[in-house]
A and B are shown apart, each in its own frame.
Chain A
Amino acid sequence: MELCGAKRLGYFGRSQFYIALKLVAVAQSGFPLRVESINTVKDLPLPRFVASKNEQESRHAASYSSDSENQGSYSGVIPPPPGRGQVKKGSISHDTVQPRTSADPQEPASPVVSPQQSPPTSPHTWRKHNRHPSGGNSERPLAGPGPFWSPFGEAQSGSSAGDAVWSGHSPPPPQENWVSFADTPPTSTLLTMHPASVQDQTTVRTVASATTANEIRRQSSSYDDPWKITDEQRQYYVNQFKTIQPDLNGFIPGSAAKEFFTKSKLPILELSHIWELSDFDKDGALTLDEFCAAFHLVVARKNGYDLPEKLPESLMPKLIDLEDSADVGDQPGEVGYSGSPAEAPPSKSPSMPSLNQTWPELNQSSEWETFSERSSSSQTLTQFDSNIAPADPDTAIVHPVPIRMTPSKIHMQEMELKRTGSDHTNPTSPLLVKPSDLSEENKINSSVKFASANTVGQQQAGVVAHPPAVPPRPQPSQAPGPAVHRPVDADGLVTHTSTSPQQIPEQPNFADFSQFEVFAASNVNEEQDDEAEKHPEVLSVEKASDPAGSLRVAKTDSKIEEKTAASAPANVSKGTTPLAPPPKPVRRRLKSEDELRPEVDEHTQKTGVLAAVLASQPSIPRSVGKDKKAIQASIRRNKETNTVLARLNSELQQQLKDVLEERISLEVQLEQLRPFSHL
């Protein structure tokens, strides 16, 4: 105790606490209790706080009377946890971690302050912070999983021991695990009941010494990131999750979570705050990730950490993980495809490296969706199988993408419209959009909602980037092409609108295969195949995207995204594309083939022109610089796409409003005509 300097301060400050804990650990590990031992023995095992152990400790400490912490001053079995809890409360005011070692010099071997002094202070402080769970962890860094459990367990045991010491006040609380919040009430109750008992002081001392060491140790290791969940903690949280919800992929409903976290004795406001931080998707239920984040925040709060305003990075649930089908499951409903995300990512990722590196996330997600739609095309899959190179860094970026993917439907649609329009994008896209709007108003409504997503920008950028890239080269050919395309597309829209969404995917597949045949003939390069696939997808998506409903839009969007991403870099930069020249001609051919579908003649013309243009293109040497240019180009494209999409969005919203007004007027008329049946 003297070492802790608690006497001097009159209560167990945090640093004293830490030192006390450390000394306890030292004592437990058999080292002589000295001030220096704290510093020298770095790898102190966590002090084991068990009721009996504490006794031993206290006796053990008592043997070291000199300048070692006077743990022996305990009159009896001193429950460390309660005292520690008290001390913690007292030291909770110290938010900053004080250097542990500095506490040592502070501790002159001062005579033990009168026992009456320390108990009053600590109980007072403790009572002030009574909200925090007694026996909970002190402001120990979260990095130490052991401390959490052991202190809590100690708290339990301590409280029980304390109860025993305290003349039969109440039955000792069952020694349970920390997480069993049910125990905390008895503990806190007990502690509340005996704040001023003499045992408190000893308790405080014991706890202080016991926990200080732990805290010291923990503090040193937790500076890196207090919000990071260690493996032990994570395992703990997962176990707790299982007690509530056996299915690890399932949800914990809000009510169950509320009960669980209420047991932590945190104030409701804080729990509400924690909930809002951790319920990432705002669905009123907690997934495993969200639950771990919430639990971690509770632990942090109990230790005295202030709650952040927004969720720390390390606690964010991984929304999109290519390998995590659960996340995919969240999206499919919106995306509207029953595709197999599992097979999509692997097949997509191979193609990604060959694609524009700047949009890995877009590509991944778009490929994802695309593949799900094209899962039937085994040819595609086989082609990619050999090139499975999951871009791990990309996956990290992926997680925002899926959310964007959902809105991408309409964006993809618009992107495709723009692609077809290229220079004529502006005039054509409204035209193309309008028919689809009229025909599939509902779908557009939903897709309009999606349009506001930020992913549009990226996708659109890709798309927009594509048209600018395309026009320069096949300008002459494209001029007639888009013009021809548009009427064809308009017709296609009319026809497509009538087609069911299921039919639409078939078209791309159909187109893809035709493209593949062409490609197979012309390309040997797998990379080219990838791009070829993308092109057919994009092109076919173009066709299909016009009439696309919301369901289709998602699929096509993903495809378009890929295509755009794939083709954009290839098409756009004559000097910036990292792609080899061969893919470009192939792409051109695909494109021209796609156009050939609606109009043979003009497409052949265009094809010729395109081929000529492509052939005239100098081969683009690959270099790192190209990537940068590609990135810049893609950024430019994204921005352009963004603006176009924004305009489309406003137009669609206006249409939506108009339609709603019509509906309202019709309903009013209906009601007027309806016989009065009320009142």
Chain B
Amino acid sequence: MAVCVAVIAKENYPLYIRSTPTENELKFHYMVHTSLDVVDEKVSAMGKALVDQRELYLGLLYPTEDYKVYGYVTNSKVKFVMVVDSSNTALRDNEIRSMFRKLHNSYTDVMCNPFYNPGDRIQSSGNLGISLSCRAFDTMVTSMMIQVC
């Protein structure tokens, strides 16, 4: 049950960040920002650029008193950061992985749209048309926040 999900671009600016509105969102934003350093450290520690599932999933980045932060990096250096509540019965590692996998799939769907420029924010609100895949991405993130996937 994620409380905050963020998609960070390669240049370390957020493409998409969303948190459960109950908490002070700024705190989550700050946590995600600080986690980027940990992500970079883990990525550089990988050594050779093996491309397999495990190396995409970075695992627990760092725990705080209330939350745990997990990281996942794609082949194009787009990072997914997820903050989960520690009070939850500890989510299994596999569940976190599956959540990241779903995120990755949804993100790929957004990317597949040639009218989406990599580097644009993934926003599902538009004046006229609403990008379907962005909406699907949003929905998926919502579902992840509501229930454990």
Contact = CB atoms under 8 A, between A and B. Distances in A.
A269 B131 contact: yes
Nearest to B133: A276
Contacts of A657: 92, 94
A661 interface: yes
Nearest to A279: B112
Interface in A255-290: 255, 257-258, 267-277, 279, 282-284
Contacts of A283: 112
10 contacts: A254-B112, A254-B114, A255-B114, A269-B129, A269-B130, A269-B131, A270-B128, A272-B113, A272-B115, A661-B94
Given A661-B94, A664-B54, A678-B44, A276 B113 contact: yes
Interface residues of B, number: 23
A651 B112 CA distance: 33
Contact of B94 (A269, A271, A660, A667): A660
Interface in B45-101: 45, 47, 53-54, 92-94, 97
Interface in B1-60: 44-45, 47, 53-54
Interface of A: 254-255, 257-258, 267-277, 279, 282-284, 307, 657, 660-661, 663-664, 667, 677-679
Contact of A267 (B54, B93, B128): B128
Contacts of A275: 113-115
Given A254-B114, A276-B132, A663 B127 contact: no
Given A277-B132, A657-B94, A667-B54, A678 B113 contact: no
A167 B116 CA distance: 41
Nearest to A261: B115
8 nearest A-B residue pairs (beta carbon) = A254-B114, A273-B129, A276-B132, A272-B115, A258-B114, A269-B126, A270-B129, A269-B129
A400 B45 CA distance: 46
Contacts of B115: 258, 268, 271-272, 275
Contacts of A664: 54
Contact of A269 (B45, B54, B109, B128): B128
A274 B116 CA distance: 12
B114 A282 contact: no
Given A269-B126, A667-B54, A678-B45, A282 B132 contact: no
A548 B117 CA distance: 43
B51 to A, nearest CB: 14
Contacts of A267: 127-129
Contact of A663 (B44, B47, B54, B114): B54
A271 B130 CA distance: 10
A284 B114 contact: yes
Contacts of B116: 272
B146 to A, nearest CB: 20
A276 B94 contact: no
A405 B103 CA distance: 26
Contacts of B112: 254, 279, 282-284
A649 B133 CA distance: 27
Contacts of A679: 44-45
A661 B44 CA distance: 23
